[in-house]
């Protein structure tokens, strides 16, 4: 039992070191009738992209937003939203755009907090050990990846 727990902790540490995350937590002011865009790069297909925003002040605390992939295809959009929290998989490598638009307001600027996260979780096979069953390792590995994703979501929610 102690060996299995030790293996679990070693694997968890390995996965934490192997996980690469780029994140940008920002606050921006968006003037009346203004459109502001921010960009994030996905190095390869299959990376997870997280996008969170919340309007902190201005008017009815709402904003229009749009997320496009490198081929200019709209992935997400919303009108007069107060906040949102999305996670999607990058199907194409390249630059993704995250735009806010304050068209509905003619006088009031909006203050928006947002976070863009690009995460890569390489799924490397751990070295095989004598007597170790590969199916059990991959199930354990999948559980750890799911737990890691849930912890990241909790952290983002608390932020």
Q: Find out whether 119 and 47 touch, Cβ atoms under 8 Å.
A: yes
CATH of 21-121, one of 2.40.37.10, 2.60.120.10, 2.60.120.680, 3.40.640.10: 2.60.120.680
The set of residues, in sequence order, having a beta carbon less than 8 Å from that of 147 and lying 6+ positions away, is: none
The token pair that represents 85 in the structure block: 């929290």
pTM: 0.63
From first to last of its 159 residues, the chain has per-residue pLDDT tens of 554 444 454 444 444 444 444 445 689 999 999 999 999 999 999 899 999 999 999 888 899 999 999 999 999 999 999 999 999 999 999 999 999 999 887 788 999 999 999 986 444 444 555 555 454 556 777 777 778 777 876 776 666
Residue in 115, 106, 24, 111 with CA at minimum distance from that of residue 62: 111
| SS3 assignment, position 159 | coil
DSSP state of 121: -
- Cα–chain-centroid distance for residue 149? 10
Spatial separation of the C-alpha atoms in residues 116 and 133, rounded to whole Å? 38
User: Do 52 and 114 contact (CB within 8 A), yes or no?
Assistant: yes
Per domain, the residue ranges of the chain are 21-121
The number of C-alpha atoms within 13 Å of 28 and in the hemisphere containing its C-beta is 19
């Amino acid at each position: 039992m102690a060996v299995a727990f030790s293996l679990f902790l070693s694997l968890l540490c390995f996965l934490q070191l192997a996980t690469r995350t780029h994140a940008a937590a920002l606050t921006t002011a968006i003037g009346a009738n203004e459109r502001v865009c921010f960009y994030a790069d996905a190095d390869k297909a299959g990376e997870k992209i997280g996008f969170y925003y919340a309007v902190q002040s201005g008017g009815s605390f709402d904003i229009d937003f749009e997320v496009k992939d490198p081929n200019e295809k709209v992935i997400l959009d919303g009108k007069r939203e107060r906040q949102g929290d999305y996670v999607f998989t990058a199907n194409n490598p390249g630059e993704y755009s995250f735009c806010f638009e304050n068209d509905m307001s003619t006088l009031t600027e909006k203050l928006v907090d947002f976070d863009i996260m690009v995460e890569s979780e390489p799924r490397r096979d751990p070295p095989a050990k004598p007597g170790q069953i590969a199916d059990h390792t991959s199930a354990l590995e999948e559980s750890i990846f799911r737990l890691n994703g849930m912890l990241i979501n909790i952290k983002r929610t608390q932020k």
